[in-house]
């Protein structure tokens, strides 16, 4: 056992944050540009980047004020709850949609969307294989079939041409995942959806505050889904919102999040079947306060991510995150790709060198495209079984699925953390570090 093994987790964290503090002092002497000798930090040279500024405190007065108001209520139930009402109002300011249902997670929002869209057993839903598994959990629970399409080389979003190739008579919907806050090509996807009578569901979990051709993300497709999970731009720990302007789908959102119970109806009879995905007032209190912070967070991240892209543009061997000039990406992260064969090192070494320079970099995103995971390869979704396949409603074989670009993205991507505590000087330092490491390893 190493000495560290004897330390409690708390001691270890304390010890490592002490070390971070020391680095901060040393790091401040490092400028924005590579040292004249260009020696990598990993080889003992000076670090290119000062320590990352901390992420600002995420909760404070606005949240306290809402929670205080909530404590005066005699009910914490969502229906007609004032915190939920305020959350819905503020959500509509960011994403003007008529029908809005708050719920317990982004996964819940997506499940509600799929159910409200009338997706039935054996129906096919086309989506990205490079996303949070929550994108497809609801599809599978409705006994429908996720069909994975390939991605754009540098947008990491659905390639509409490959989506078109995967449409069959069983296709009922497309779930467009705006990965990392970068808007999908919604005009092309909407055209496909209209042509084939499909529902277009937007997974905006990573895209709070993003804009597509100037329009708020979530307002182009038929149903929009957002997550308020802790890692997202705004959060109440866990939560979600699902919303729509469509008369076909919108009125169903409440029922599918609330055990099939129609709170506007009077009969009390169940006409639809659903689970309980309700969000309670404490979450809504925090989430409604968080939305007052959204525009500041989104604008800062958009600016910083674009600045990083500019700073590493034109380097041989590096392909930056591609965002259309008339869109606003709100960078849940930024990810560039290493062009195969362009470096004299593999990705792991490149990332190690970046980290040594002080860059908050990690290799890739999820380990494998969703279809590469054991539960998909074994078709073992329900106690090891998959009823729709056993019943002959689908011939899907996830072992045979191939999305070459998606696989290459996960193998060559280098993810850089972006957050609203960072400033432009810091990001220029990060770009300088990438340039330094890339020029060192350029073949
Ligand atoms: C986080 C996330 C989800 C799921 O949201 P939860 O609130 O964690 O259930 C779905 N899709 C994407 C793209 C996500 O990033």
User: Of 292, 322, 347, which residue is a domain's last?
Assistant: 292
Tell me if 394 is assigned to some domain.
no
Same domain, 280 and 303: no
Same domain, 18 and 162: no
Same domain, 336 and 226: no
Dihedral angle of Cα 134, 143, 244, 233, to the nearest 10 degrees: 0
Tell me if 427 is assigned to some domain.
yes
> From CA 231, how far away is CA 210, in angstroms rounded?
16
Tell me if 385 is assigned to some domain.
no
Q: How many helices (H) and strands (E) does the chain have?
A: 15, 13
Same domain, 252 and 348: no
Q: Which atom of ligand 1 is nearest to the CA of 206?
A: 15
Alpha carbon of 181 to ligand 1 centroid (Å): 12
> From CA 63, how far away is CA 443, in angstroms rounded?
52
Alpha carbon of 396 to ligand 1 centroid (Å): 24
Residues 30-48: tens digit of each pLDDT: 444 544 567 999 999 999 9
Q: Which atom of ligand 1 is nearest to the CA of 110?
A: 10
Same domain, 287 and 204: yes
Tell me if 371 is assigned to some domain.
no
Tell me if 397 is assigned to some domain.
no
Alpha carbon of 90 to ligand 1 centroid (Å): 21
pTM over 0.85: yes
> From CA 436, how far away is CA 263, in angstroms rounded?
60
**Cα-atom radius of gyration of the chain, to the nearest Å?**
23
Q: Which atom of ligand 1 is nearest to the CA of 228?
A: 7
Same domain, 191 and 48: no
Name which residue sits closest to atom 5 of ligand 1, judged by CA.
Answer: 106
Which residue out of 190, 232, 259, 389 is catalytically annotated?
A: 232
Same domain, 259 and 209: yes
| Range 418-443 average pLDDT | 96
Tell me if 390 is assigned to some domain.
no
Same domain, 331 and 226: no
Q: Which atom of ligand 1 is nearest to the CA of 227?
A: 7
User: Of 292, 314, 346, which residue is a domain's last?
Assistant: 292
Give the residue numbers spanning the domain of 227: 61-292
Asked if residue 17 has pLDDT above 60, the reply is: no
Tell me if 313 is assigned to some domain.
yes
Counted domains in the chain = 2
The residue to mutate among 136, 206, 279, 415, having the most atoms of ligand 1 within 8 angstroms of its beta carbon, is 206
Same domain, 298 and 153: no
> From CA 95, how far away is CA 225, in angstroms rounded?
11
Q: Which residues have C-beta atoms less than 6 Å from ligand 1? A: 105-107, 131-132, 134-135, 177, 203, 205-206, 227, 229, 240
CATH number, domain of 15, equals 3.90.1150.10
The residue to mutate among 229, 231, 234, 236, having the most atoms of ligand 1 within 8 angstroms of its beta carbon, is 229
Same domain, 115 and 13: no
Q: What is the largest CA-CA distance in the chain?
A: 78
The residue to mutate among 111, 135, 217, having the most atoms of ligand 1 within 8 angstroms of its beta carbon, is 135
Q: Which residue has the higher pLDDT, 268 or 161?
A: 161
Using pLDDT thresholds of 50, 70 and 90, give the confidence band for residue 186. very high
Alpha carbon of 216 to ligand 1 centroid (Å): 19
| Range 222-231 average pLDDT | 98
CATH number, domain of 265, equals 3.40.640.10
Residues 146-164: tens digit of each pLDDT: 999 999 999 999 999 999 9
**Other C-beta atoms within 10 Å of 375: how many?**
14
CB-based contacts of 217, cutoff 8 Å, min separation 6: 95, 178, 183, 202, 204, 207, 208, 209, 210, 211, 224
So what's the pLDDT on residue 340? 87
Mean pLDDT lowest for which of 7-21, 78-92, 247-261? 7-21
- Closest of 422, 421, 237 to residue 311, by C-alpha: 422
CB-based contacts of 260, cutoff 8 Å, min separation 6: 270, 271, 272, 273, 274
Same domain, 253 and 264: yes
- Closest of 330, 358, 362, 361 to residue 426, by C-alpha: 358
Same domain, 194 and 336: no
Alpha carbon of 227 to ligand 1 centroid (Å): 6
User: Of 254, 277, 292, which residue is a domain's last?
Assistant: 292
232 is catalytic: yes
Using pLDDT thresholds of 50, 70 and 90, give the confidence band for residue 217. very high
Alpha carbon of 125 to ligand 1 centroid (Å): 17
For residue 216, the SS3 value is strand
Tell me if 377 is assigned to some domain.
no
């Amino acid at each position: 056992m190493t000495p560290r093994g004897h330390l409690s987790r708390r001691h270890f964290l304390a010890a490592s944050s002490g070390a971070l503090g020391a680095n901060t002092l040393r790091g401040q002497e490092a400028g924005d540009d590579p040292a004249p000798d260009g020696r990598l930090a990993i080889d003992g040279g000076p670090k290119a980047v000062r320590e990352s500024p901390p992420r600002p405190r995420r909760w404070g007065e606005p949240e306290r004020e809402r929670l205080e108001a909530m404590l005066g209520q005699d009910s914490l139930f969502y229906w007609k709850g004032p915190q939920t009402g305020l959350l819905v109002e503020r959500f509509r300011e960011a994403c003007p949609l008529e029908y809005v249902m708050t719920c317990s997670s982004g996964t819940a929002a997506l499940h509600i969307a799929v159910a409200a869209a009338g997706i039935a057993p054996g129906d096919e839903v086309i989506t990205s294989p490079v996303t949070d598994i929550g994108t497809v959990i609801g599809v599978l629970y409705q006994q429908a079939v996720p069909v994975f399409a390939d991605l754009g080389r540098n947008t990491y979003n659905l390639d509409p041409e490959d989506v078109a190739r995967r449409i069959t008579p069983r296709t009922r919907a497309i779930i467009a995942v705006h990965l990392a806050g970068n808007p999908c090509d919604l005009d092309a996807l909407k055209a496909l959806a209209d042509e084939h009578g499909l529902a277009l569901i937007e997974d905006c979990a990573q895209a709070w505050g993003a804009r597509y051709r100037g329009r708020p993300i979530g307002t182009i497709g038929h149903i929009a889904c957002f997550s308020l999970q802790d890692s997202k731009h705004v959060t109440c720990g866990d939560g979600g919102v699902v919303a729509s302007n469509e008369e076909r789908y919108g009125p169903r959102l409440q029922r599918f999040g609330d055990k099939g119970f129609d709170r506007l109806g009077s009969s009390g009879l169940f006409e639809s079947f659903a689970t309980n995905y309700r969000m309670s007032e404490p979450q809504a209190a925090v989430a409604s306060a968080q939305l007052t912070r959204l525009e500041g967070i989104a604008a800062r991240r958009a600016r910083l991510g674009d600045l990083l892209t500019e700073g590493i543009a034109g380097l041989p061997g590096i392909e930056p995150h591609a965002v259309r000039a008339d869109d606003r990406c709100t960078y849940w992260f930024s990810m560039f790709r290493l062009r195969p064969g362009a470096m004299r090192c593999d990705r792991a070494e490149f990332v190690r060198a970046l980290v040594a320079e002080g860059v908050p970099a990690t290799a890739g995103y999820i380990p494998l495209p969703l279809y590469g995971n054991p539960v998909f390869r074994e078709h073992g979704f329900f106690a090891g079984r998959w009823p729709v396949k056993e019943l002959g409603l689908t011939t899907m074989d996830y072992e045979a699925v191939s999305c070459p670009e998606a696989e290459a993205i996960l193998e060559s991507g280098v993810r850089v953390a972006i957050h609203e505590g960072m400033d432009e000087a810091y990001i220029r330092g990060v770009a300088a570090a990438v340039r330094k490491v890339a020029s060192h390893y350029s073949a």
